[in-house]
Amino acid sequence: MENLLATPPDTRPQPPLNSPAAAETPVLQLTNIEKVYQTNTIETVALNRVNLTINRGEFVSIMGPSGCGKSTLLSLMGLLDEPTGGTIAIDGRAVTSYSDRELAGLRNLKIGFVFQSYHLINDLSVLDNVELPLLYRPSLSGKERRQRALAALDKVGLSARTRHFPGQLSGGQRQRVAIARALVGSPEIILADEPTGNLDSVMGEEIMDLLLGLNRQDGVTIVMVTHDEQQALKTKRLVRLFDGSQVG
Amino acid sequence: MLRHLFTLIWNRKRANMLLISEVFFSFVVLFGVGAVLITIGKNYLAPHGFDYTDVWRLQVRAGQGQQMPRAQLDDVLRQVKALPGVRTVALTSGNMPFIFSTNNSTFGYEGNTALANVYDADDRYTDVMRLHLREGRWFEAADDASNHRPVVISQDLRETLFGKGPALGKIFTWSHHGPEATKPEDEFLVTGVVDNVRTANDFAAAEPGVWKRLLPHDTTSWETANVLVRVAPGQGGELQEKIARTVAGVTRQWTTEVRVMNDDRLSKRRYTLVPVVGLSIMGLFLIVNVALGLFGVLWYNISQRRAEIGLRRAMGATGASISRQFLGEMLVVTTLGVLGGLLLAVQFPLLGAFDLPAQPYMLAIAAATVAVYVITALCAWQPSRLAAGIHPAVALREE
Ligand SMILES: Nc1ncnc2c1ncn2[C@@H]1O[C@H](COP(=O)(O)OP(=O)(O)OP(=O)(O)O)[C@@H](O)[C@H]1O
Ligand SMILES: [Mg+2]
């Protein structure tokens, strides 16, 4: 599988999305996924036999009632957790066959993750937070890292807040920092858990347009959890979850 | 990454200040306790500077208000020495090793002064006590002709009074003498230098000593004579009784007590052991306490950052880069705390606090530094175990 980061930028006029062959290339493949949370006495089945294939260049939205397992599904796709059953394949290769170091590389280069609860580091400035994924790419110079972080912040409209700390920001601003951090590494896949959940409709639209633009122009594969039907309609494909199972 | 590390340390300065002061206090306590324990241990292991085995001490009493004619005293010494099993006898003063009796004075030489224990000794003294001669010789019959009083001094006194210069043949006296001329017997002529001696107890440090040669007229006013006897190995109660009978045989009124120097040492040790063991237990307790406290504070501080570790993992950090980051942070924080502690601790050897040599202080500094770094390294190790052991999603949930 060729790495998108390695593709020359001048292929842009013909995004892989537009070629039928590329659209059929699976990036993420989930087979019979099961996730059971075991607490002292209670067993919660968060996901039950979920089968899902995400192809390159797709924009998929996931909807479903609260507690149905959307975040759980996303964190499995983001290689942040292991399923209790079933297999996850990334670029056609089972995740369990990757070493810890390789997994770290995948998370760093291939995936940008927007957490539902942002997860910013409170002791780091907005700029440092956004730079974080780039720190684990030793090939980048400090100056380059800084420039890319500033560009990402500019995209989410937070250029004026780079020296602030997360504690000094509104919920919506924090969400946008989290989005900028997911974009900064130019990942192949963006996994966003309710990225507009805390934004007003205007800002929400802007972020949505940003994601749509990334998808269309740069061919970034996006999986987004949302509660907003309007937003879901703008994406190519909608996956509905109910009580841990896929219903459409 | 280095820049990131320092940004992080600076941004977390309040939490880090607490860690730094915890490290500082731990260091100071470890240093203090270490210095005391090392000093005691070092003393205990140091040689005594003489041989107390097979040495007995006699206290020969002339009776209430009676003085001892020198002729009779010599007779007693001669007869005791002649007993089978007795090797040598010597006269000395009452401040024999390991008993509760001291006699010290301040001596001076060209502006240098030193407090030293003063022991009377005759020409046979070192044959009994087996002091370790470093320079010169013990005094002997030939010294009868001397105009001054021959003395042998210990190495530590030699260093204070004469420094690196020669000591043999030099004459010193009491430090407090006025402009009036001293009597010849108070002018001390150095004939020999011996190794340092530890006579107080097994845990005590060496103290400077001056062995003054007894002159015949020194004994004229004695009511009690202190006699040291070196016996053959394995001698016991039978010989002790024989000695007592021998003394009584010379003069009816005279009595004597025979004591074994090693018994004196053991009973003195039993006596000093209580505070020493108490101090050691308290010290070890403090060390364990401080170590646990430091461990707890660091551990807690790092556990608080599980979510951060999860996030970094999610952003593509390897377990190794997490360990490197935390080890780096802890290294900087610990070094700042240790530097503060060092600044305080080096004052002790520099100022020669408590008149102790610098070496135990330096050892204590080294020990405290190593201990503090080991503890912080162990604590910084935790995040890497954490990072390797749990999935980022699990760590992230613990906010
Ligand atoms: N760590 C956990 N331990 C136990 N149960 C968990 C854990 N995480 C999630 N669950 C359970 O798994 C189920 C799915 O949770 P998940 O967070 O995926 O829901 P969601 O669809 O994202 O909900 P929401 O829309 O509210 O964010 C829930 O019933 C939840 O209680
Ligand atoms: Mg959720």
Which residues are near ligand 1 (CB < 6 Å)? A 37, 39, 44, 46, 64, 66-72, 116; B 397
| Cβ neighbours around B92 below 10 Å, total | 22
Q: What is the ipTM of this complex?
A: 0.88
Q: Closest Cα partner for B126 from B225, B58, B192, B81?
A: B192
pLDDT of residue A17: 45
The pTM assigned to this predicted structure is: 0.77
The position carrying tokens 């972020």 is A207
- Which of A38, A81, A114, A144 is best to mutate for the B interface (most B CBs within 10 A)? A81
Residues of B with CB below 8 A from A123's CB? 8, 11-12
Sequence spans of domains, chain B? 2-46+268-398, 63-253
- Are residues A31 and A91 in contact, defined by beta-carbon separation less than 8 angstroms? no
pLDDT tens per residue across span B143-158: 888 888 999 999 999 9
Nearest CA of chain A to the CA of B204: how many Å?
Answer: 54
Nearest CA-CA partner of A16 in A60, A65, A56: A56
Distance A30 CA to ligand 2 centre (A): 19
| 3 state SS of B88 | strand
Q: What value does the mean pLDDT take over residues B17-21?
A: 91
Residue B3 CB neighbours (<10 A): 11
Q: How far apart are CA A111 and CA A104, in angstroms?
A: 10
Cβ of residue A84 closer than 8 Å to a chain B Cβ:
no
Q: Is pLDDT above 70 for B213?
A: yes
End-to-end CA distance of chain B: 25
Residue nearest to atom 29 of ligand 1 (CA): A67
Q: Which of A75, A104, A123 sits opposite B11 (nearest CB)?
A: A123
Torsional sign, CA B307, B313, B319, B323: negative
Please tell me the predicted confidence (pLDDT) of residue A22: 52
pLDDT digits (tens, 9 = 90+) for B303-322: 888 889 899 999 999 888 88
- CA of A97 from ligand 2 middle (Å) equals 28
Q: Do B11 and A113 touch (CB under 8 A)?
A: no
- Looking at the complex, does the CB of residue A75 fall below 8 Å from at least one CB of chain B? yes
Shortest distance, CA A142 to any CA of chain B (angstroms): 9
CA distance A6 to B125: 93
Question: Domain A2-247 adopts which CATH fold?
Answer: Rossmann fold (3.40.50)
Give the per-residue pLDDT at B181.
63
Contacts of A78 in chain B (CB under 8 A): 314
Whether B7 sits inside 8 A of A124 (CB atoms) is yes
Helix, strand or coil, per DSSP, at residue B131: coil
Q: How confident is the model at residue B180 (pLDDT cuts 50, 70, 90)?
A: low
**pLDDT at B177 exceeding the cut of 70:** no
Contact B174, B212 (CB under 8 A): no
Residue recorded with tokens 């790419």: A137
A58: CA distance to ligand 1 center in Å? 25
What SS3 state is found at B254? coil
Q: Which residues contact A21 (CB under 8 A, 6 or more apart)?
A: none
Q: Do A107 and B4 touch (CB under 8 A)?
A: no
For ligand 1, the distance from its centroid to the CA atom of residue A224, given in whole angstroms, is 16
**Does the beta-carbon distance from B1 to A135 stay under 8 Å?**
yes
Strand-pair partners of B231: B86
> What residue ranges do the domains of chain A occupy?
2-247
Three-state DSSP at B115 gives strand
Record: contact A135-B4, CB cut-off 8 A: yes
What is the distance in A from the centroid of ligand 2 to the CA of A193? Answer: 7
The CA-based angle A227-A168-A231, given to 5 degrees, is 15
pLDDT tens for chain A, residues 1 to 248: 334 343 343 433 334 444 444 557 899 999 999 999 988 889 999 999 999 999 999 999 999 999 999 999 999 999 999 999 999 999 999 999 999 899 999 999 999 999 999 999 999 999 999 999 999 998 999 999 999 999 999 999 999 999 999 999 988 899 999 999 999 999 999 999 999 888 888 888 988 999 999 999 999 999 999 999 999 999 989 999 999 888 87
Write out the E strands in B245-336.
255-260
Is residue A136 less than 8 Å (CB to CB) from chain B? yes
Of A117, A136, A142, the CB nearest to B316: A136
Cα–Cα distance measured from residue A33 to residue B308, given in angstroms and rounded to the nearest whole number:
28
